[in-house]
Structure 1
Amino acid sequence: MTQKLNKILLVDDNEADNYLHKLIISEAQVAETIVDQPDGKAAIEYLLGEAGKLPPDLIFLDINMPRMNGWEFLEAYKQLPDEAQKAVVIVMLTTSVFSKDRERAERLPNFSGFLNKPLTEEDLLRVLREHFPDRFE
Structure 2
Amino acid sequence: MELRVMIIDDDKIFNLMTTVLLRNTGITINPISCTSGQEALALLLSPTTQDTAFLLFLDINMPMMSGWEVLARIEELACPPPIYVVMVTSSIDEADKAKAMSYERVIGYMVKPIKREKLIALKNVIALTDFFSY
Give TM-score scaled by structure 1 length. Answer: 0.84
Say if 1:77 and 1:85, in contact at 8 Å, map to a contact too. no
Aligned-partner SS, 1:93? strand
- In the TM superposition, residue 57 of structure 1 has moved relative to its aligned partner by 3.0
Count of residue pairs brought into register by the alignment: 131
- In the TM superposition, residue 50 of structure 1 has moved relative to its aligned partner by 5.0
Say if 1:90 and 1:110, in contact at 8 Å, map to a contact too. yes
Aligned-partner SS, 2:87? strand
Aligned-residue RMSD, C-alpha: 2.0
Change (3 A) 1:136 1:50: same
Partner residue in 2 for 1:95: 90
Say if 2:53 and 2:81, in contact at 8 Å, map to a contact too. no
User: Distance between the aligned counterparts of 1:33 and 1:80, measured in 2?
Assistant: 26
User: Distance between the aligned counterparts of 1:41 and 1:80, measured in 2?
Assistant: 14
1:18 aligns with 2:22: no
Partner residue in 1 for 2:3: 6
1:118 aligns with 2:113: yes
The amino acid across from 2:61 in the alignment is N
Give TM-score scaled by structure 2 length. Answer: 0.85
Aligned-partner SS, 2:31? strand
1:39 aligns with 2:36: yes
Change (3 A) 1:35 1:110: same
The amino acid across from 1:39 in the alignment is S
Runs (5+) with no aligned partner, structure 2? none
Say if 1:129 and 1:136, in contact at 8 Å, map to a contact too. no
User: Distance between the aligned counterparts of 2:47 and 2:21, measured in 1?
Assistant: 24
Partner residue in 2 for 1:63: 60
User: Distance between the aligned counterparts of 1:58 and 1:52, measured in 2?
Assistant: 13
Q: Structure 1 vs Structure 2: percent identity of aligned residues?
A: 25
Runs (5+) with no aligned partner, structure 1? none
The amino acid across from 1:117 in the alignment is K
- In the TM superposition, residue 99 of structure 1 has moved relative to its aligned partner by 1.2
The amino acid across from 1:65 in the alignment is M
Aligned-partner SS, 1:65? coil
User: Distance between the aligned counterparts of 2:87 and 2:133, measured in 1?
Assistant: 20
- In the TM superposition, residue 81 of structure 1 has moved relative to its aligned partner by 3.8
